[in-house]
Amino acid sequence: MAKIIDEDVTQVANAFGFTVPTADINDYKVLLEKTKAVLEEVINSEDYQPRPDPEATPRTEIYLPERADNPLGAWAWRCRCAHKNPSSDLLKDKTVCLKDNIAMAQVPCLLGTSSFTGWSPITDATVVTRILENGGIITGKAVCENLSRGAVSCTAATGPVDNPYAKGYSAGGSSSGTAALVASGAVDMGIGCDQGGSIRIPASLCGLYGFKATVGLVPYTGIASIDASMDYVGPITTTCMDCATLLEAIVGVDGFDDRQIAGVPFPGNVPRYKDILLKTEQRGVKGMKIGILEEGIELPVTDPGVEKMFRAAVAGFEKLGASVIEVSIPLHSLGRPVSTVMSKMGNHMGMLGRATGRRQVMLTDLYEKKGIPYTQDAIDKMNTVSKEGLISGEYAWTHYSFAYPKAINLTRKLKDDYDTALESVDFLVMPTTITPSSPLPKADATPLEHIEASVGKLENTSVFNGTGHPALAMPIGFVPAKEDPNIKLPASMQIVGKFWDEARILQAAYAWEKAYNWKEF
């Protein structure tokens, strides 16, 4: 690059509102030249990312599927990868798909966008390593929504993803492809990521189990981030037992992810969730106390069919021996606005390549591909949801910079309020999404129509990304579509528990699953 000149100093300073005194420009020019030198020294140094062993875990059959082999539009890329000598058979012969923001070396990663292309990671995410070490077979990458933003399955550059229960309806997002593939039987189980509900919303709309575990329990290493305070990765499955099994395979300290707080077990001390379900099967929910979160139901847009099915499912718990009470947490109604501020402002810094303060594996090859700062052409190729995020994020930081730290403090208050409620009940329950799936927006939908399509989906999910509580989505029946009563769509219950109480959340869900067939409930 060319040497620093006076105009470089004044231009950079003006960007943050500083006019450099003329007498000082030369000094700052010398200092900026020194900064430039160390920046280039770091940029030109060899990177340091973990590399998988290609001999032990060969990647074969890597290809982009034809539409005829991809009827739901849910596959982003196909491959086959199995460990030649796995250390466990926990996932033996189970086929698994990965949300396409998860790094898997040698397999292209699209991130649901065409604003940049050609990224084939050089590392494996920790969840990839653990799936393979436990005998799982990874068969491909599942479509994620545009840059992992959006709760409606119409934003990916590869096209919309159809709901397996109703063509032309949303599969949810942003882990849309994972849910569609699992629900359709294309794979046995899948991995999704969740920054506001992106595991639980697709699970809800597609009749699946989706688990966002306690903050840090599952390492996020090697996955494209939205905001580190909101990032989660976890299982999406058709049964509770599969959910427990896949969760067991991927949890625990990995030594890289600084999201992993005190309380995360080391690999040798991971709870045996699958065995726990078998051992507690007879006990089920007897003696458990369940709290219906009033503010999680009493919302203007709550679908009457969803509420009716939810209350019937809760009554099912009572019949199995649990006691049920109503619980009020008034601040829950502020959870959605608070998480919106955290997401829009936190993700904005990440989108601009300015997220800092991390001690983890950084996907530097992804940063290079993004070509930040963005060009008009790159932004034109983003979906409305991503564009709106950039606009809102820039506006928020420019005019309401105080909102982000305030949202962080309010999130702690929310956590304390949920914790207080959980002292008197074992779990809090509410509909996962307060509306079922809806038709995908039309190809010529306006920006406002795109954004409004997600109404009713994040009201009960997003807040728990910030607070860190474990939250499981489980299927509880079908409800008629608002647009056509003859179309039946899945409804879902969310079970929220204390930190590290995944085993008992699964125990409760498993008891309900064993007693009732959700498709006939």
Which DSSP letter does residue 223 get?
A: B
Phi and psi torsions of 19, nearest 5°: -100, 115
Any catalytic annotation for residue 387? no
pLDDT, tens digit (0-9, with 9 covering 90-100), for 387-396: 999 999 999 9
CA atoms of 499 and 505, how far apart (whole Å): 11
Q: Which two tokens stand for residue 387?
A: 């564009």
Which runs of E-coded beta strand occur in 314-375? 323-327
Cα distances (angstroms) measured from residue 257 to each of 113, 223, 362: 26, 11, 10
Judge whether 175 and 99 are in contact, CB under 8 Å. Answer: yes
The pair of three-digit structure tokens given for residue 147, joined into one six-digit string:
């840059």
Cβ neighbours, 10 Å, residue 13: 16
Q: What is the DSSP letter of 456?
A: T
Residue 133: both structure tokens together: 């070490």
CA 156 to chain centre: 15
Judged against a pLDDT cut of 70, whether residue 511 lies above it is answered with yes
Considering the candidates 115, 174, 438, 454, report the single residue annotated as catalytic: 174
Q: Active-site residue among 99, 344, 370, 415?
A: 99
Average pLDDT over all residues of the chain: 97
pTM over 0.95: yes
* Number of Cβ atoms within 10 Å of the Cβ of 202: 40
b/e 296-328 (16+ beta carbons within 10 angstroms → b): bbebeebbebbbebbeebbebbeebebebeebe
On whether the CB atoms of residues 97 and 107 are closer than 8 A, the answer is no
Averaged pLDDT for residues 239-258: 98
> Long-range contacts: 43-47, Cβ < 8 Å, 24+?
47/364, 47/365
**CA gap 276, 504 in Å, rounded:** 9
Say if residue 516's pLDDT is above 90: yes
Tell me which residue has tokens 């099915």: 309
CB 81 within 8 A of CB 396: no
Q: Are 320 and 457 in contact (CB under 8 A)?
A: no
Distances (CA, A) of 34 to 4, 13, 229: 10, 16, 33
Decide if pLDDT at 219 tops 80: yes
461: which 2 tokens?
Answer: 């999910």
In this structure, the number of other CB atoms found within 10 A of the CB of residue 329 comes to 18
**Is 170 in the active site?**
no
- Nearest to residue 345, comparing CAs of 304, 385, 392, 305? 392
Cβ neighbours around 484 below 10 Å, total = 12
Angle (nearest 5°) at CA 344 between 341 and 345: 75
What is the pLDDT at residue 251?
A: 98
CA distance 203 to 260: 25
Active site residue 99: yes
Q: Is the pLDDT of residue 1 over 70?
A: no
- The shares of helix, strand and coil residues in the chain, as percent rounded to the nearest 5, are 35, 15, 45
CA–CA distance, 336 with 329 (Å, rounded to integer):
14
Span 380-404, average pLDDT = 96
The β-bridge relationship of strands 471-480 and 162-163 is unpaired
Distance CA 238, CA 183 (A): 7
Tens-digit pLDDT profile for residues 154-165: 999 999 999 999
Mean pLDDT of 456-478: 98
Task: Render pLDDT for 94-110 as a digit per residue (tens, 0 to 9).
Answer: 999 999 999 999 999 99
Q: Is the peptide bond before 373 cis (omega within 30 degrees of 0)?
A: yes
Q: Tokens representing 364?
A: 């530097």
Q: Which of 115, 148, 170, 198 is catalytic?
A: 198
pLDDT class for 492, splitting at 50, 70, 90? very high
Separation CA 221–CA 101 (nearest Å)? 11
